[in-house]
Structure 1
Amino acid sequence: MMTTTNHTCPYACTFLTTNGVRLHTIIAGPENGAPVVLLHGFPEFWYGWRHQIPVLAAHGCRVIVPDQRGYNLSDKPPRVADYNMDALSDDMLGLLDALGYERATLVGHDWGAAVAWWTALRTPERLHALVILNVPHPGVMRRYARRHLSQLRKSWYMFFFQIPRLPEWLIRMRGFAAGRRALLTTSRPGAFSQEDIARYVEAWQQPGALTAMINWYRALFRHPPQRLPHGPRVRVPTHILWGKRDAFLEHEMASLSRDLCDQGRLTFFDDATHWLQHEEPDAVNEAILDMVQAHKEA
């Protein structure tokens, strides 16, 4: 394990080897604190949890925030198959192993939430609790998209990303304007500053990052998740948080997802979008801390 600091990261930045890759990982908070892993989605990186890291750490949590494989400073395996759901979940389990944790509270947004769901379904014994932001249970997503053309329309970009090389070429040719626009036009005003956008563009420009990030979508189509060994029900205590103004995912899937959880809660935010942790940071922090505290008291 190597620990460094640099001008773009105010925390200890560690490179951890897990499941055959090195993940650039932020670690904050007391060493004996309850472990909480924060998983970002597309097109973010660890910085997407900037409103959560200091608050959780100040409340005594050991906060672990990786750049997931393919993103920012983490390794970027070359094959599409390297981004299948089992591999992404195994990255998180290996991260816990590398840090010596048997179990942790897992928090995910967007693709990070998909990894969190999958990890809870595959290996519930490794998790204390699950906090999900604006992504449905994987089984719900498949069924709902087949039956609702409105959701398929919102997912158009997933199909566009299946084209080899063209999406990357267009994004680069236009100076990453599509990424900037996606963040700014689908979020509440003020959720992302120009400085924030500059940080994202810097991460997207890392060698190999753009193709690696898009390969997550390609792997979903070409190497879809296999049957779960324990069935579709989530046995880990779960709190789903959902901004109803999500431009990408319909909120009706949130209730269907909660219904597949043995110990599930659901909180809607009427005025929030897909970028919930940026727009409602205090509420998200409180929900995470409540789940950590509930585990301590159990």
Structure 2
Amino acid sequence: MTGTELNISTRAGVFDAIAAGPPQGRPVLLLHGFPQTKLVWRRQISALAAHGYRVVAPDQRGYSPGVRPQRPEDYRMSRLVDDVVAITEDLGWATFDLVGHDWGGAVAWWTARAHPGRLRSLTAVSTPHPGALATTLRTDQDQRERSQYMLDWRETPATEERMLADDARMLRSFYADKVPAESAEAYVRHLSRPGALTAALNWYRAGRPDGVIGVVEVPTLYVWSTQDSAFGAAAAQETGRWVTGPYRFETLQGISHWIPEEAPDELSRLLLDHLGAHGSSKQ
């Protein structure tokens, strides 16, 4: 992957990021999840940049050392959405396309609801609409069991100790041989630095969002995979009820939660199709 390292200055602090593609290309922001970094998007960055898009992938709050507050409440969803706005304002983007995976997907859904006028399109990878997830947590035992880890990880500092013990054996196990070995090593190194894993886990410890999310109006692509351990079919199928704009739901058979790295070419193709359906690669 070719790209340029960026430092994006906001009131919250300085975000580390990778940028690629022509500066005047149509802007696309990529948001990673746990336990990964901006490098999860390396294949998509190359593919989008090659087609003329201007792509930026930041290390999000807690993952960027320059934006690593200590209090869990500083990782509430409203703060994470504010970060997206601040990053794009510093980049000079009046409108942009937003893509998110895992926690990045959750932030993307909330941003699309809060700032629909800023987004040309939304792509959520793995993560269902938060309203769909909330519904199935009430009605679907399978999803409740899948989401139990979110409650378990709120314990501190025991969770950090377990994940990093024995050369980060537990943390490494999450990637389940579905993530390239060099990527997994990079993520483990990043999260093993002082304070980094606690900051990442603070996303789980921040508590409920400040309000109730409604339907999303922007053109939306949702990509889910049948072997996702975190999000089951019920929440995936429910998601379409929460989108009133143009909606496309794609299912990847036999693929795990780690779609951007396990099925990079397929995801890049879907992204390019979705972006192309809602404008050109030009600003």
Alignment of 1:278-297 (within 5 A): 278-296=261-279
1:28 is matched with which residue? 20
Summarize the alignment of residues 24-63 of structure 1 with structure 2, pairs less than 5 Å apart: 24-63=16-55
| In structure 1, C-alpha distance between the alignment counterparts of 2:147 and 2:235, rounded to whole Å | 14
Q: Partner letter of residue 41 of structure 1?
A: G
C-alpha distance in 2 between matches for 1:175 and 1:141: 33
Specify the SS of the correspondent of 1:240: strand
- Over the aligned positions, Cα root-mean-square deviation in angstroms equals 1.7
Could you tell me which residue of structure 1 aligns to residue 95 of structure 2? 103
Q: How does 1:231-270 map to 2 (within 5 A)?
A: 232-262=214-244, 263-270=246-253
Answer yes or no: is 1:197 the counterpart of 2:184: yes
SS in 1 for 2:227: coil
1:87 aligns with 2:70: no
CA contact (8 A) 1:134 1:241 kept: yes
Q: Does the 8 Å CA contact 2:164/2:170 hold for their aligned counterparts?
A: no
Give CA-to-partner distance per residue, 1:28-61, whole Å, 9 cap, x none.
Answer: 1100111011110000001111111111111101
Residue 163 in structure 1 maps to residue 155 in structure 2:
yes
1:226 corresponding residue in structure 2: 210
Partners of 1:181 and 1:41 in 2: CA distance:
16
The two structures have a TM-score, normalised by structure 2, of 0.94
TM-score using structure 1 length? 0.89
Identity rate of aligned residues, in percent?
37
Q: 1:52 to 1:285 in 2, by over 3 A?
A: same
Q: 1:3 matched to which residue of 2?
A: none
Stretches of structure 1 lacking an aligned partner (at least 5 in a row): 1-8
- Give the C-alpha shift of residue 255 in structure 1: 2.1
Deviation at 1:155, TM superposition (A): 1.6
Q: 1:276 is matched with which residue? A: 259
Which ranges in structure 2 are unaligned for 5 or more consecutive residues? none
- Conservation of the 8 A alpha-carbon contact between 2:131 and 2:242: no
Which amino acid in the other structure matches residue 187 of structure 2? Y
Q: Is the 8 A contact 2:2 2:20 kept in 1?
A: no
How many aligned residue pairs are there? 280
Aligned partners of 1:279 and 1:169: how far apart in 2?
A: 28
Measure the CA separation in 1 of the matches of 2:237 and 2:11: 34
The answer for the alignment partner of 1:71 in structure 2 is: 63
Aligned residue number for residue 16 of structure 1? 8
State the distance in 2 between where 1:260 and 1:174 align. Answer: 43
Give me the whole-angstrom Cα distance separating, in 1, the residues matched to 2:12 and 2:30: 20
8 Å CA contact 1:68–1:74 kept in 2: the answer is no
Greater mean alpha carbon deviation, residues 209-218 or residues 175-184: 175-184
Deviation sequence 1:74-111 (CA, Å, 0-9, x none): 52111101100010011011111001011110001000
Could you tell me whether the CA contact under 8 Å between 1:258 and 1:264 is conserved in 2? yes
2:43 is paired with a residue of what secondary structure? coil
CA shift, 1:276, in A, is 1.1
Distance 1:11 1:203 in 2: 19
- Is the Cα–Cα contact under 8 Å of residues 113 and 133 in structure 1 kept in the other structure? yes
1:278 Cα offset (Å): 1.3
**C-alpha separation between the residues in 1 aligned to 2:36 and 2:172?**
11
Separation of aligned partners in 2, 1:178 and 1:72: 22
Instruction: Work out the CA distance in 1 between the residues paired with 2:256 and 2:191.
Output: 22
Is contact 1:72-1:203 (8 Å) kept? no
> What is the CA deviation profile of residues 248-273 of structure 1, one whole-angstrom value per residue up to 9, with x for unaligned ones?
11022122112211221101111111
Confirm or deny: 8 A CA contact 2:32 2:59 kept in the other structure: yes
Distance 2:262 2:165 in 1: 30
Residue 210 of structure 1: how far off its partner (Å) = 0.4
Q: Distance in 2 between matches of 1:284 and 1:74?
A: 30
